[in-house]
Amino acid sequence: MENKDALLIRVGQGYDVHRFEAGRKLWLGGIHIPFEKGLLGHSDADVLLHAIMDAMLGALALRDIGYHFPDTDPKYKDVDSKVLLKETNKLIREKGYQLGNIDATIVAERPKLNPHIPEMITCIAMILDADPSQISIKATTNERMGFVGNEEGMMAIASVLLVRS
């Protein structure tokens, strides 16, 4: 993206979903949240960070997290998604962009997430070397409908704006 015709701003969106499993720790937005079950995945299954990374990559048409960090690669087994987010940020900076802002939503019936949101924002801002005011995280339920409503899993969606450095 060194080319001088590169766009000043680029937008991306991300979606991710993970299934709950008893006996796993719940990692969300880079922090551990005490709960009776966690999310299942090859990595720590941090559904929010995954949606944010997919949005960052999507903004620069750089495919998705599965392409950059394949779950068939043993080096990503149980990997901390914060490490992957840092890598993703490095990638977009190498392409000449930096974070404008993130707006993300977590959809889950339980646990109550609102009390944890400020800590998630602090954590994500630190990883991305950004100001907390650039990061919005919201939480909602699915009104007890579907796989989220049945507490089979959790989903997250994110929009990201990148700005040319």
Taking CB atoms, the residue at the shortest distance from Zn ion is 50
10 scored as a contact of Zn ion (CB under 5 A): no
Q: Give whichever of 48 and 59 is closer to Zn ion, judged by the CB atom.
A: 48
16 scored as a contact of Zn ion (CB under 5 A): yes
Q: Which helix (H) or strand (E) holds 28?
A: strand 26-28
Taking CB under 5 A as the binding criterion, the range among 10-18, 99-107, 121-129, 142-150 that sits at the site for Zn ion is: 10-18
> Which residues, in sequence order, are CB contacts of 74 under 8 Å at separation 6+?
none
Task: State the binding string over 29-58 for Zn ion (x if CB under 5 A, else -).
Answer: ---------------------x--------
Residue 131 CB, shortest distance to Zn ion, in Å, is: 26
Report the alpha-carbon distance of residue 127 to residue 115 in Å, rounded.
21
Q: Give whichever of 50 and 82 is closer to Zn ion, judged by the CB atom.
A: 50
Q: Give whichever of 16 and 29 is closer to Zn ion, judged by the CB atom.
A: 16
Report the alpha-carbon distance of residue 105 to residue 55 in Å, rounded.
13
Report the alpha-carbon distance of residue 122 to residue 18 in Å, rounded.
23
Q: Give whichever of 49 and 135 is closer to Zn ion, judged by the CB atom.
A: 49
82 scored as a contact of Zn ion (CB under 5 A): no
Residue 3 CB, shortest distance to Zn ion, in Å, is: 32
Report the alpha-carbon distance of residue 44 to residue 101 in Å, rounded.
24
Burial of 28 (0-12, 13-18, 19+ CB in 10 A): buried
Number of residues that bind Zn ion (CB under 5 A): 2
For the chain, what is the largest distance between any 2 Cα atoms, rounded to a whole number of angstroms? 51
Task: Please report, as ranges, the residues that interact with Zn ion according to CB under 5 A.
Answer: 16, 50
